[in-house]
Amino acid sequence: MTLNTVLAFAHQVMKAAIKEGDTAVDATCGNGHDTQFLSNLVGETGYVYGFDIQDAAIASTKAKLTEQQFNRVTLIHDSHKEVSRYIKPEHTRLLKGAIFNLGYLPGSDKTVVTTPTSTLTALEHLLELLQPEGVVVLVVYHGHAGGSEEKDQLLDYVQTLNQQSFHVLQYAFINQKNTPPFVIAIEKRK
């Protein structure tokens, strides 16, 4: 048996929950890899919303989607905490997944990072909008300034989620040095 990396595990969870025709959210577009991945999962009849506060991330994601000719995506240059303002009602009824890559945009200004306030607000909104058997996956990179605070507040929050309403899982390699990233996966129960 070969263990999945945290990103491979995150994608495995998303792949199990999201089907053709569903709606998905990339809460942190970054370089566009997850937006592209979600676009493949929802197919020609689904829809993806991608959020990022950085112009460079939106531009990179847009270029990646244009190459692949994905047109059922809305890219939003705004904080993911505003997610409930942007998702249309017809897409909310089909919302089956969301993914976050917390931290900073690789290759960019490392002082522009996700924050506990915006992440927790976005997570609360998404869990409310998420359909039963849908998942929210957070890949938690916490080795930067402010990262441990975000990690701690996030873990505190998800541990309080009612087990009758949500399954919450943490996937981590515990023998790696230098604050390795880990995954939090939340499934909304029926």
The predicted-structure confidence for 57-104, as pLDDT tens digits, reads as follows 999 999 999 887 777 999 999 999 999 999 999 999 999 999 999 998
Q: What is the mean pLDDT of residues 36-56?
A: 96
92: how many CB neighbours lie within 10 A of its CB?
14
Task: Share the mean pLDDT of the chain.
Answer: 94
In the chain, which ranges are E strands? 23-26, 47-52, 73-77, 95-102, 135-140, 166-172, 182-188
Q: What is the mean pLDDT of residues 102-116?
A: 84
Q: Is 184 helix (H, G, I), strand (E, B) or coil?
A: strand
The predicted-structure confidence for 23-45, as pLDDT tens digits, reads as follows 999 999 999 999 999 999 999 99
Q: Is 83 helix (H, G, I), strand (E, B) or coil?
A: helix
Asked whether 184 and 168 are in contact (CB, 8 A), the reply is yes
Could you give the dihedral angle defined by the CA atoms of residues 49, 51, 54 and 60, in that order, rounded to the nearest 10 degrees?
-30
Q: If pLDDT is split at 50, 70 and 90, which confidence band does 1 have?
A: low
Q: What domains lie within the chain, and their CATH numbers?
A: 6-188 (3.40.50.150)
Helix, strand, coil percent content, the chain, rounded in steps of 5:
40, 25, 35
Q: How far apart are CA 166 and CA 161, in angstroms?
A: 7
